[in-house]
Amino acid sequence: MTDAVLSFSSESLHHILEQMRATLERVGQVKVRVPNPDLGLGLYPGEETQNGIYRPYSVWLDVADRLECHFLTPSSVGNQVELTFVQSQARATLETPEKYGPDSEFGRVNKLEDPCFVEDMLEALGRISLKEGHRVLCVGVNTGNELSLLERVYPHLSLEVVGIDLNSSALEVARERFPGFTFLERDLNDLPFPKLGKFDLIVCLSVLQSSGLDKDRVFRALLREHSSSSGGMILGLPNCRYVDGRPSYGARMRNFKKPDLSLLLADLALYRRYLQKHGFRVYVTGKYEILLTAVRV
């Protein structure tokens, strides 16, 4: 490590990135002093101030993401702030018996700590307009974290909720959390499941892009066989990866280091077009998880 601090005022962002990247490659950490963003509220990024070029904290958070760094708490130094960026570590994957079990790396991700996801999911659930006794199918439910949002949007409704997943240990956790709901161990590649019947809402988050899943066939089977004539659907497509515990924006293609949204956009276009063709109004929202909400017209 080094205590050396890089100081910038009116340099271009490109130059700053070059200097920071070079330092990170040498020592794995870099400190920079830049004009205090608090002194330029209301300005646009790149506008000049008496202290140098204004850049809000959102810019520096994006810098941290692109440089694959943790962003530590800033400290004030006169009209500047000192920002510390610590390179993320490629940690060994926790060895667990099940890839998607509650103790796995996947199981440690809590989407309810993502404010964008929480706000967008609450909005999506509200668009469906569920009624008393309506049926909800949660596909790839895992431990059921997101089901608590149903209770927040519809606190006074008695809903019949069914969750399906292939991971037995995750389903055990879900059953403990939501004893009033039904959870079934099923392989989505075996869809449709005739005994399940039709549902007024189908929720499918970060599932269709799973390896080994015939995503297009599963999607169509859910819509044709398990969506009621007035039913809605919420699909979630992951648009990030997790690095050393933090979300890094942008879907990744195999063997691509930087984000590439080609497959994500292709899937979104396919699902949106198919749903619109079958009588749905479609909304697309989200950041780290892109939500596609389909409501019957």
Judge whether 98 lies within some domain: no
One domain for residues 203 and 135 = yes
Query: At 141, which CATH number?
Result: 3.40.50.150
**Domain total in the chain:** 2
One domain for residues 63 and 198 = no
Q: What pLDDT shows up at residue 92?
A: 44
Q: What pLDDT shows up at residue 2?
A: 53
One domain for residues 27 and 157 = no
Judge whether 82 lies within some domain: yes
Q: What pLDDT shows up at residue 209?
A: 86
Judge whether 52 lies within some domain: yes
d(CA 10, CA 49): 9
One domain for residues 289 and 184 = yes
What is the full per-residue pLDDT of the chain (297 aa) written as tens digits? 456 799 999 999 999 999 999 999 999 999 999 999 999 999 999 999 999 999 999 999 999 999 999 999 999 999 999 999 999 986 544 445 567 777 677 778 889 999 999 999 999 999 999 999 999 999 999 999 999 999 999 999 999 999 999 999 999 999 999 999 999 999 999 999 999 999 999 999 999 988 888 999 999 999 999 999 999 999 999 999 888 888 888 887 666 677 888 999 999 999 999 999 999 999 999 999 999 999 999
CA distances from 151 to 101, 120, 145, 186, 252 (A): 24, 15, 12, 24, 33
Q: Residue 57 sits in which domain range?
A: 5-87
Q: What pLDDT shows up at residue 94?
A: 44
Query: At 72, which CATH number?
Result: 3.30.110
One domain for residues 172 and 47 = no
Boundary residue ending a domain (60, 87, 114)? 87
DSSP-assigned letter for residue 213: -
Q: Collect all residues with Cβ–Cβ distance below 8 Å to 251 and sequence separation of at least 6.
A: 237, 238, 239, 240, 241, 259, 260, 261, 263, 264
pTM: 0.89
Judge whether 97 lies within some domain: no
Judge whether 21 lies within some domain: yes
One domain for residues 143 and 177 = yes
Please tell me whether residue 108 adopts helix, strand or coil conformation: helix
Judge whether 278 lies within some domain: yes
Single out the residue of 44, 37, 48, 46 nearest to residue 16, CA to CA: 46
d(CA 98, CA 105): 10
Judge whether 141 lies within some domain: yes
Judge whether 79 lies within some domain: yes
One domain for residues 241 and 210 = yes
One domain for residues 51 and 77 = yes
One domain for residues 112 and 165 = yes
One domain for residues 71 and 190 = no
| CA angle, 190 then 138 then 146, to 5° | 140
Boundary residue ending a domain (38, 56, 87)? 87
Q: What pLDDT shows up at residue 201?
A: 98
One domain for residues 117 and 72 = no
Boundary residue ending a domain (61, 87, 113)? 87
Single out the residue of 105, 101, 103 nearest to residue 92, CA to CA: 105
One domain for residues 159 and 214 = yes
